Chains A and B, each alone.
Chain A
Amino acid sequence: MGELTKLTIAGARDALRKGETSSAELTEACLSAIGEAGALNAFVHHTPEIARAQAEKADARIKAGDAPAMCGIPLGIKDLFCTRGVPSQAASRILEGFTPEYESTVTSKLFEAGSVMLGKLNMDEFAMGSSNETSVYGNAVNPWKGADGKSLTPGGSSGGSAAAVAADLCLAATGTDTGGSIRQPAAFTGTTGLKPTYGRCSRWGIVAFASSLDQAGPMTKTVRDAAIMLGAMAGHDPKDSTSADLAVPDFEAAITGDIRGQKIGIPREYRVDGMRDEVARLWDDGVAMLKDAGAEIVDISLPHTKYALPTYYVIAPAEASSNLARYDGVRYGHRAKLGQGDGITEMYEKTRAEGFGPEVQRRIMIGTYVLSAGFYDAYYNKARKVRTLIKRDFEQAFAAGIDAILTPATPTSAFGLGEMAEADPVQMYLNDVFTVTVNLAGLPGIAVPTGLDASGLPMGLQLIGKPWEEGALLNQAQVLETAAGFAAKPEKWW
C-alpha cells in the first residue's frame, strides 16, 4: 500500500483488520514523514521508541482479533497533555524539563485502545493564542502556503496538531479547545476539528488553562475519523468531577447521511460588520448544501453573541490566573537563579517573569485584576451573568426546535506568520469571534473544510450542536463534508 500516512483512521482500521498493512508499517511511515517535516515545527518532542513498542503490541492485538477501532493508529499528542515519562511543557519555558509521573486520562484511554504516540505537538504557550506564535518551541508552520509563497500560521492554539494532520505526518491528533483552539486551526489547515460538549472528555492530566471552558477533542482528516477517535477519548472519569457520567454512544453509527427534516439555524448576529465576501459566500454555500440534503433552514437570533468575546476575556484570564498560580518554581519546572539576599517572593516573581511569555503574563495579570478586591463584581460576576445569557440564547434556539446551528468557523483564512505582531492583542482575540460562544455555552462544535478562498487557502464552516448530541452533530457535519467534497491538499514543500 502506497502513501500509508495519507490514510484516514477508518481506512487504516479496515486495512489493519484485513491484514493489508500493519501498525508497525504505518508507524514507520509516519516517523519517516515526521523526519522530513522539520520545517513545519509541528512535532516538538519525538517518541519513536514508544511508538514502535506500542505498534508492536497493537499488531499482536490485531492478529488476536482483539482490536478496537483506534488500535494501531499512529497519533500526535498536543503538548498540553501530560504523558508519563515524556516532556509535557504546554509549550512554556516554565515547564522546561518537566516529565510527568502520570498519564492524562485521555491519552490513557487512547493507549488502552491500542493507539500509537508518535510524539508531542507544538501549540501556543498554555493554549493562549490563535496563531501558535507564543510557543517556546517557536512557530508551527502551516503546510499551506500563501500567495507568493508566504509562510502562514496553522492557527492556534492547537497549531502543531492541525499542521501535522494536514501534512499527513500522523493519521490524527489530539487537540484542546478553550475558545476555538481546535476549530480555528482545523479551519486554517483544511482539516476537521471537533470540540465536544463540556464534560464529554476528562480534563484530568491536561494542563489547565480555563477549567470551565477547556475541553479536549479530536483533530482528524474526516468527520468519520472524528467520530471514531472521540469514542476512544470520551467517558466518565472519577478523577475529573466535571466529566459527565453518561454512556458514550457509538458516534460513528450516528453517521447515516440523513438529515431530512432537521432544522438548521442561521444566526443573524454572526453576519458581523465587515464580513469578507468570501466568508459570506462560503456560508451561503453551506446553507444550500444542507438545504439540498433535505434540512429546513431557519433564521434565528442569538442576541448576546456580540458580548461573547468580552465575556471570554474576563472569565478565561480569571481562571488562568488562578490555575497558573501553581507555577512557582517549587514543585516542577523552571526556577530562576536567585541573587544574594533574594527571598521566596523574589523567587516567585523572577521565576514567573522568566518562565512565562508575554501573552501568558498579560492574561494572568488581567485575570488578577478582574478578580481583585473592588473589581470582582464589576468584571468577574458581570461576565458570569452575561455568560448565563449567552447560554440561554442557545437554549431558547434549541427549545424552539433547532437541531443545529451553521456559522463560519473563522473570519478569515490562515494569515501570515508575524502578520499580527504589531497588532494589539484584541485584534488577535477577534479570530475566535465565531467559536468562543460555544465554549461559554458548553456546547459541541465542529469545523469542517468546505471551500477554498481566492488565494487557494482552505476555509471551514462550523456546526454547533445540542449538548451531548455529538452523534447528531457528526452526522450533520458529514453531510456538509460530502456535499462540499473538499479534497484539496497542500503541495509538499517541506
Chain B
Amino acid sequence: MSIDEGTAAKVAKLARIKVEPDELPALAAEFNNILGFIEQLGEVDVTGVEPMVSVTPMRLKRRQDGVTDGNMQERILANAPDAREGFFAVPKVVE
C-alpha cells in the first residue's frame, strides 16, 4: 500500500488538521514508512480469531439511566475560548 500526496491530503482533511501543500510529500513519505512497518501484520494467520473487544474478560457495569449531576453552566463554560450568554460561541455555520 503506497500513500500518495492526494491520499495524505484526504487524511489530513478527515483529521481536521491543516497541512500546507508543500508539506504533503514529506507527510506521505512518513505515512508510507509507518504503514510499511505495520504491513508485517499481513504475515499473521488470523483465521478464526476474534478481534479483541475488551482486554479484561468482564462485563461492563451498567448504571441507572438517571440524572446525577447538573446546574454547573459556569464551570462547564469556564475554559471555553469564547463563551457568550451561557453558550459556547463558534464562527457562523451556514449550511
Evaluate contact between A313 and B14: CB separation under 8 angstroms.
no
**Is A292 an interface residue, CB under 8 A from the partner?**
no
Min CB–CB distance A92 → chain B (angstroms): 14
Which residues in B have their C-beta under 8 angstroms from that of A350? 18
Q: Which residue of A lies closest to B12 (CB)?
A: A365
Chain B 56-95 per-residue mask, 1 if CB under 8 angstroms from chain A, else 0: 1010110100000000100110111110000010111110
Considering the chains assembled together, what is the distance between the CA atoms of A379 and B44 in angstroms?
A: 12
Which residues in A have their C-beta under 8 angstroms from that of B15? 321, 352, 361, 364-365, 368
Which residues in A have their C-beta under 8 angstroms from that of B12? 365
Interface centre among B16, B27, B40 (most CB of A within 10 A): B16
Chain A 353-381 per-residue mask, 1 if CB under 8 angstroms from chain B, else 0: 10010000110111011101000000101
Evaluate contact between A238 and B61: CB separation under 8 angstroms.
yes
**Is B4 an interface residue, CB under 8 A from the partner?**
no
Q: Which residue of B lies closest to A364 (CB)?
A: B15
Evaluate contact between A330 and B56: CB separation under 8 angstroms.
no
Given known pairs A98-B79, A352-B17, the reply for A385 and B51 (CB within 8 Å) is: yes
Cβ-defined partner of B81 (8 Å) among A309, A325, A329, A349 = A329
Considering the chains assembled together, what is the distance between the CA atoms of A343 and B81 in angstroms?
A: 16
Evaluate contact between B17 and A372: CB separation under 8 angstroms.
no
Q: Which residue of A lies closest to B16 (CB)?
A: A348
Evaluate contact between B34 and A391: CB separation under 8 angstroms.
no
Considering the chains assembled together, what is the distance between the CA atoms of A325 and B80 in angstroms?
A: 16
Evaluate contact between A388 and B51: CB separation under 8 angstroms.
yes
Which residues in A have their C-beta under 8 angstroms from that of B53? 384
Considering the chains assembled together, what is the distance between the CA atoms of A382 and B79 in angstroms?
A: 39
Which residues in B have their C-beta under 8 angstroms from that of A384? 51-53
Evaluate contact between B38 and A314: CB separation under 8 angstroms.
yes
Evaluate contact between B91 and A387: CB separation under 8 angstroms.
no
Q: Size band of the B side of the interface?
A: 35 or more
Cβ-defined partner of A241 (8 Å) among B30, B50, B61 = B61
Min CB–CB distance A93 → chain B (angstroms): 13
Which residues in B have their C-beta under 8 angstroms from that of A346? 18, 91
Q: Which residue of A lies closest to B89 (CB)?
A: A330
Which residues in B have their C-beta under 8 angstroms from that of A147? none
Cβ-defined partner of A368 (8 Å) among B11, B30, B72 = B11
Evaluate contact between A353 and B17: CB separation under 8 angstroms.
yes
Cβ-defined partner of B51 (8 Å) among A98, A199, A381 = A381
**Is A293 an interface residue, CB under 8 A from the partner?**
no
Evaluate contact between B18 and A310: CB separation under 8 angstroms.
no
Which residues in A have their C-beta under 8 angstroms from that of B11? 365, 368-369, 372
**Is A307 an interface residue, CB under 8 A from the partner?**
yes
Considering the chains assembled together, what is the distance between the CA atoms of A429 and B37 in angstroms?
A: 10
CB within 8 Å of B: which A318-353 residues? 321, 325, 328-335, 338, 342-350, 352-353
Cβ-defined partner of B90 (8 Å) among A100, A304, A347, A361 = A347
Given known pairs A344-B90, A384-B51, the reply for A362 and B79 (CB within 8 Å) is: no
Cβ-defined partner of B41 (8 Å) among A314, A321, A345, A391 = A314
**Is A158 an interface residue, CB under 8 A from the partner?**
no
Considering the chains assembled together, what is the distance between the CA atoms of A372 and B44 in angstroms?
A: 22
Cβ-defined partner of A101 (8 Å) among B78, B92, B94 = B78
Evaluate contact between A426 and B60: CB separation under 8 angstroms.
no
Which residues in A have their C-beta under 8 angstroms from that of B19? 353
Interface centre among A197, A347, A353 (most CB of B within 10 A): A353
Given known pairs A212-B55, A244-B56, A388-B49, the reply for A313 and B37 (CB within 8 Å) is: yes
Evaluate contact between B30 and A425: CB separation under 8 angstroms.
yes
Considering the chains assembled together, what is the distance between the CA atoms of A238 and B63 in angstroms?
A: 8
Rank and list the top 5 A-B pairs by shortest CB-CB distance, nearest first.
A442-B55, A384-B51, A335-B81, A332-B79, A349-B18
Known: A313-B34, A368-B14. 15 other contacts (CB 8 A): A212-B54, A310-B37, A314-B41, A335-B82, A338-B91, A343-B93, A346-B18, A356-B17, A361-B15, A372-B11, A379-B41, A385-B44, A388-B49, A429-B37, A441-B55
Provide 30 A-B residue pairs closer than 8 Å at the C-beta atoms, listed in order of the A residue.
Answer: A238-B63, A304-B44, A307-B40, A310-B39, A310-B41, A311-B41, A313-B34, A313-B38, A314-B38, A328-B16, A330-B80, A331-B79, A335-B81, A344-B93, A349-B16, A353-B17, A362-B34, A364-B15, A369-B3, A369-B11, A370-B38, A379-B38, A381-B51, A383-B38, A384-B52, A387-B51, A387-B52, A387-B55, A391-B52, A391-B55
